[in-house]
Amino acid sequence: MAKIILITGGARSGKSDYAQLRAEGIAGEHFFLASCPVIDEEMADRITRHKQDRRNGLWQTIEEEHDLAGVIEKLPNGSVCLLDCLTLWINNLMYQAEMSNEEFSEDVVREYTLQLLNAAKSYTGTLLMVSNEVGMGVVPDNPAARKYRDCVGRCNRLIAADADEVILVSCGLPLFLKGV
């Protein structure tokens, strides 16, 4: 059974840096599960910088925008997986549904998240998941942004409920909410 660690915080809070340092302190084969699509040149530059931050030879990068559960199900026993990030995963699923004229709601996110959690629970390593905390700002001014915020919030709550540890990172400092 996996050890599940959720690391959340605002944009640029230091959550990914904290997650990487935490993961690097755990023994085992290391996998970085990246959910970020390349949508423009600026995003490509960000992805390149993140990859350079992991050039210590420890990390194997797996890029997957949708089927995170499928990737986790195939990871080797005793390994360490850093999934960065759930927020972009929800964005990718929402976009995919929109392009396919399918409904996307908190109920749909719940099903995807439960599939992810089922894969996580059967994984026999350490899984660190990064996600933005989206509920601390203003209420978005349009329905699509409100739906996105609600769906990310639902995903975060479901993951946090089953996680062994939940850490909120603010100003680069970890605040331990659950476990440890």
- In a 3-state reduction of DSSP, which class is residue 62? strand
Torsion of CA 84, 86, 88, 89, to 10 degrees: 110
pTM of the predicted model, to two decimals? Answer: 0.92
Q: How far is CA 136 from CA 11, 51, 129, 140, in A?
A: 11, 29, 19, 11
Distance CA 144, CA 87 (A): 15
Per-residue pLDDT of the chain (180 residues; tens, 9 = 90+): 789 999 999 988 999 999 999 999 999 999 999 997 666 677 656 666 666 666 677 899 999 999 999 999 999 999 999 999 999 999 999 999 999 999 999 999 999 999 999 999 999 999 999 999 998 878 888 999 999 999 999 999 999 999 999 999 999 999 999 997
Q: Which domains does the chain have, with CATH numbers?
A: 3-8+29-178 (3.40.50.300)
Whether the CA torsion 134, 165, 77, 25 is positive or negative: it is positive
> Which region holds residue 61: left if phi is over 0, alpha if psi is between -120 and 50, else beta?
beta
> Among all residues, which ones are annotated catalytic?
50
Summarize pLDDT for 130-170 with one digit per residue, the tens: 999 998 878 888 999 999 999 999 999 999 999 999 999 99
pLDDT of residue 136: 84
Name the nearest CA neighbour of 26 among 57, 56, 58: 58
CB within 8 Å of 38: residues ≥ 6 apart: 44, 47
